[in-house]
Amino acid sequence: MFTSTIDQFEFLCTLARCVVGLARFRASVEDVHSLGRLFSAVGFRTWETTVTGHDSTEPSLTPAEFGGSSLLDALHGVQGVLASRGAVTLDLTGTLHHVDTYQSAHKGRVYMLSAGCFALKKRTAFPSLGWTIKPPSLVRTMVSPWLSVFLFWIPGVVVVAGGLLALLSKRAMVRRAAGVMAAVSLLAIITTPWTVPSSPSSAFGHFLGSLLGPLVFLGVGLYSITFSGNIPVGQLSPTDRVTGFVMVALGSAWLLAMHWWSITPTYPDTVNTYWVMFWSTFLLVSPAVGAGLMVLVGVFGHQRQRERNLIGVLSMALFLIGLLALLFDGSSLGREAFGQAVWLAFADVVGLLAGLGAALLVFGAVLVVYERQLVPPVTSSGPSKEHLDRVSFVLHQHVDGGEHDEE
Amino acid sequence: MRNETSQGWPLRFLMALVLPFVVLLATARIVTGDVGSGMLVRFVNSALTSFTLASFMLMVMLFVYGDRRKRPVAPFLGMLGAGVLGAMITALFLSQGDLLMEANGSVRAQMLSNAVRFSTSLLALMLAVCVCFGALFATVMNRGIRPLQFEEE
C-alpha cells in the first residue's frame, strides 16, 4: 500500500505543478482535497476518503520551510497509515508497479501527511509543490487512532460489559464497581468531541451528549409519575407527580425542538448523522410499538379501557409527529433528507431484528445440542416394602392422632 | 386469562405493528419521490453486525448459564464460533469491493461504522420501547384503587 501510494503521489507531484502547486505560494492541506475531487470528477475512483481539513489555528508552512532539513529529519523515521478520515486519496490506475528508481542515498521520498495520511520524508523536488503541512497536528493525528481506541472503543466495550455485570452479578460490590466503570466510560465517550476530534466516531459521542438531557428528563419524569401512584411501599408525594409531568413535557419538547428549532445537534458543520439515524428510527418504530401495546392491553387486560385509550393516544401522537417531520422541513434537516433517513432506518431496523433473531436461534440451538449431550441422571429404584410400611405408619399416626404423645 | 374479544388478536396485533410502518414509509416515498438508495446494503450490514454483536453478548449470558451447569465449555465455544463466523462473513463481504461499503475508506472503517450505527439503532429501539412501556406503567399505577367484586355463587 505504501509503494503504490508513493507512485501515486509522485504522479500527483508532476500534475499538481501544473494544476495547483503554483497557484498559491502558501497552500493549505485542503488543496489536496480539491485535487482529490478533481480526479474523482474525471472518473478516477477513490478507494478511500480524501484528505480532510487541518487545524486552522496553526500557521501553515511555506514550501521553503517545509523543505528544511531540520524539520524533515525529525520526521524521517515516522511511518504509518492512519485509519481515519484523511487517508489515501486516489487510485489512479489501480495498483502501480513500484520500482525503486532512486539510486542516490541522499534522495528520499516524500509523502504527504494530513489528518490520517502517511508519514513524511524528504525529497528535493517537493518544495516546488506548494502544499504545506502543520507539524503539531502531524503528531496529534499520528497519535489519534490510538487515542480513539482508548477513549472511545474500549470505553464502549466497558459500558456494555459493565452494564451487564451491574445487572447480572450476584455480588453487590461487583455490581457497584461495574456501574461506576460503566458511568465513567460513558463520560469518556461523551467527551470524545474534545479528546479525539479527528476520529469520525466522535460524532457518536456528540450525539450521546446531545441526547442526555432529554433522556434524563423523560426517564426521571416517567419514574416520578409511576411511583407517585398506588404503590404500597415507597410512594412518592403528589408534588413529585406534578414534577414528573412537567419533566416529561420538557423532555418531549426538547426532543421536538432538536428537530424543528435551532438546537439540532450539529457536528462538526452539518447535522449529526447519528442524530438523524436515531430520530428517524425512533419516529418510525415508536408508533408501531405503542399500537401493538394497545392491542395487547386490550386482549390481556381486564377492565383496562382507560389505559388502552391512553396508550392509543400516545401512539397516535408519535405517529403524527413522524408524519409532520416528513411533510414539513426541520430547522436544519429537510423533509427529503428525513424521508431518505426513514427508508434507511427501516432497513436498519429490519436488519437488526433479523440479525438478533438469527443470533437467538443459534444460541438456542447451542443450548439444545449441549443439553442433549448431557448424561441423563441416574434413576433411583422405587421404595422398598419396608419404606412403604414406615410411610403408612407415619401417615396413620398423623391422620388418626395416634396413641402416643408427640413428645 | 384473555377477554372475550380476544379472537383473532394475533392478526390485529400484527396489523397494529405493521400499519404505522406502511403509512410512514409510503409518505416518505411520496415526499422523496424514490425509495431510499442503499437500502439493501444497509440491511445486510445491519443484519451481519447485529448477528455478530448479539452472538458475543449472548456468549456473556452463557457465563450465567454456566453457573448452573458447572461452567461447561462447549456452549461457550459454540457462541464464540458463531460470533467469529459472523465477523468473518462481514469482513468477507466488505472486502468484495463496493458490495457492502458505504462511503467508508476501508473494511475496518466500515465494520466500526456498522458497530456505531447498530448502537444508534438499538438506542432508538430501546427508547421507543421504554417510552411506551413507561407510559403504560404510569397510567396503570395512577389508576384509583378498584373495590374487589365477588361474583355471587
State whether A351 and B44 contact (CB < 8 Å). Answer: yes
Q: Which residues in B lie closer than 8 A to residue A346 (C-beta atoms)?
A: 21, 25, 36, 39
Q: Compute the count of residue pairs across chains A and B with CB atoms less than 8 Å apart.
A: 286
Q: pLDDT, tens digit, for every residue of A238-285?
A: 888 889 999 999 999 999 999 988 889 888 888 899 999 999 999 999
CA angle, residues A84, A87, A90, in degrees to nearest 5: 150
**B89 alpha-carbon distance from chain centroid:** 20
Query: Which residue, B93, B18, B4, is CA-closest to B49?
Result: B93
- What pLDDT shows up at residue A5? 52
Contact in structure between B90 and B48 (CB atoms under 8 Å)? yes
Distance CA B12, CA B7 (A): 9
Burial class (CB in 10 A: 0-12, 13-18, 19+), A233: exposed
**DSSP one-letter string for A162-217:** HHHHHHH-SSHHHHHHHHHHHHHHHHHHHTHHHH-TTSTTHHHHHHHHHHHHHHHH
- What's residue B147's pLDDT? 67
Percent of chain A with pLDDT over 70: 63
Q: Report the residue from A226, A293, A327 with minimal CB separation from B138.
A: A226
| Cα distance from N-terminal residue to C-terminal residue, chain A | 92
Who has greater pLDDT, A376 or A26? A376
Residue ranges of the domains in chain A? 2-133, 143-199, 200-366
Residues B29-32: contacts with CB under 8 Å, at least 24 apart: B29/A339, B29/A343, B31/A326, B31/A327, B31/A335, B31/A336, B31/A339, B32/A336, B32/A339, B32/A340, B32/A343
Question: How many angstroms separate the CA of residue A342 from the nearest CA in chain B?
Answer: 7
Closest chain A CA to residue B109: A83
Q: What pLDDT shows up at residue A119?
A: 36
- For residue A150, what pLDDT is reported? 85
Query: Helix, strand or coil for residue B1?
Result: coil
> For the segment A359-379, what is each residue's pLDDT rounded down to a tens digit?
999 888 888 887 887 777 788
Below-70 pLDDT ranges, chain B: 1-6, 36, 64-72, 74, 97-105, 144-149, 151-153
CB A307 within 8 A of CB B24: no
Taking 3-state DSSP, the helix, strand and coil percentages for chain A, each rounded to the nearest 5, stand at 65, 0, 35
Strand, helix or coil for residue A266: strand
What would the grid cell of residue A14 be?
508532476
Q: Write down the pLDDT at residue B6.
A: 66
Three-state secondary-structure class, residue B111 = helix
A297 chain-B contacts, CB cut-off 8 A: 136
Is residue A22 over pLDDT 50?
Answer: no
pLDDT for res A168: 78
Decide if B128 and A346 are in contact by the 8 Å CB cutoff.
no
Q: What is the pLDDT of residues A110-150, one digit of tens each?
A: 333 333 333 333 333 333 333 333 344 444 455 567 778 88
Q: What are residue A109's phi and psi, to 5 degrees?
A: -125, 150
User: What percent of chain A has pLDDT above 90?
Assistant: 30
Lookup result for grid cell 417510552 = B131
What SS3 class is residue B145?
Answer: coil
Given a cut of 90, whether residue A217 has pLDDT beyond it is yes
Interchain CB distance below 8 Å, B42 and A348: yes
* Cβ A295 vs Cβ B13: under 8 Å: yes
Q: Are A216 and B129 in contact, with CB atoms under 8 Å apart?
A: no
How is residue A128 annotated by DSSP?
Answer: G
Tally of CA atoms within 13 A in the half-sphere of A45 that contains its CB:
8
Q: Which of B17, B105, B139 sits opposite A87 (nearest CB)?
A: B105
Whole-angstrom Cα distance, residue A67 to residue A63? 6
